Amino acid sequence: LNCGGHAFATDGTLIGPVLEEFKQRRTELYNELFDMCRASLAVEGRYSYAVMPELRVTAQGGIGTAEEHDFLLAYYDLASTGWGSPFLLVPEVTTVDDDTLQKLATAHKEDYFLSYASPLGIPFNNFRKSSAELQRQARIDDGRPGAPCVKKLLTFNTEYGPEPICTSSRTYQNKKLKELEEEITDPIKFKIEAEKVMSKDCLCEGLGMAALLRNKVKLPTKIKAVTICPGPNLAYFSGVRTLREMVDHIYHRTSLLNKLPRAHMFINELHIYIDFLKKQMEDAVGELTDKQAGHFANFKNNLLNSIDYYTKIARHIPFDSSELLKQLAEAREILAGPLFERACLPVRVG
């Protein structure tokens, strides 16, 4: 969840425990992958390896300081780390149009949010100030939700006939909203479901538009709204930067963090996951099914296990240990509070 683009949530297990498992089971991973690769080469009648190949393990997701970068490399024995979203502020290496670049450079934390915008049905990190998001909202305000479906690259839905349509299209959203009006009498549940439907946006046009505008390519249609999907970590960076400046930031030669107070990446990810679980539970209106209750309980338990893990290794993390332990304890209290009472396994009597 702490990366840009589509957000593939785990079951509540955070990046630290995940990397710990890679570290502890590296030999097992290597042997399994190598055996599979060697068997595949044999099936195809190709030569096997003359020299055993190297296994490279890398990690990315919300890294924001040189200290975090160095810690991940050393503690988890990584080959490298990945930095993505901060480079959206570096026009030398990313194709962001001028308007969107300036909006990113002056954005606030609340401008970055996890949305239902993707027609693929996967959570999608989004930017409130993007021209595509503003356009989507304007269409809703005008009583015409949904986008014209021009490229039809994400037409997968067959709810309303054999010909697939896209869930971000005006055709689909009109049909779905009418269906919801007929089926749902609870106004709260209707509002939640209607917002999910209308949150879908056209990615076929929007995600490529910044490159077209930046390079002054003639547009084939009047559509020119830009979709951009930075991770939440970009909130801690501001301004337009050079490649040299960003590289210097990664390797301890300067700091490009803005004045927004920033917790350690482990804490930031923890709270992103707590918020994600909270939203899932809020969306589950009414009595939970056993499957939902089990999912929420497992998710919460994995978050608590991750907190235990970070508590144990706190002294190794290059951050104020007392502050880190305090923030972990606060997160534990949140999960133990009334907001997450429903995140418990159902108890059957008899």
Distances (CA, A) of 293 to 37, 121, 229, 287, 341: 40, 21, 31, 9, 10
d(CA 62, CA 46): 40
pTM: 0.91
| pLDDT for 347 | 43
Tens-digit pLDDT profile for residues 117-176: 999 999 999 999 999 999 999 999 999 999 999 999 999 999 999 999 999 999 999 999
Predicted confidence (pLDDT) at residue 349 exceeds the cutoff of 50: no
Strand ranges for 93-225 from DSSP E: 112-115, 124-127
| pLDDT for 348 | 42
114 φ/ψ angles, rounded to the nearest 5 degrees: -90, 125
Maximal CA-CA distance, the chain: 70
User: Which helix (DSSP H) or strand (DSSP E) does residue 267 occupy?
Assistant: helix 265-283
Tens-digit pLDDT profile for residues 214-242: 999 999 888 999 999 999 999 999 999 99
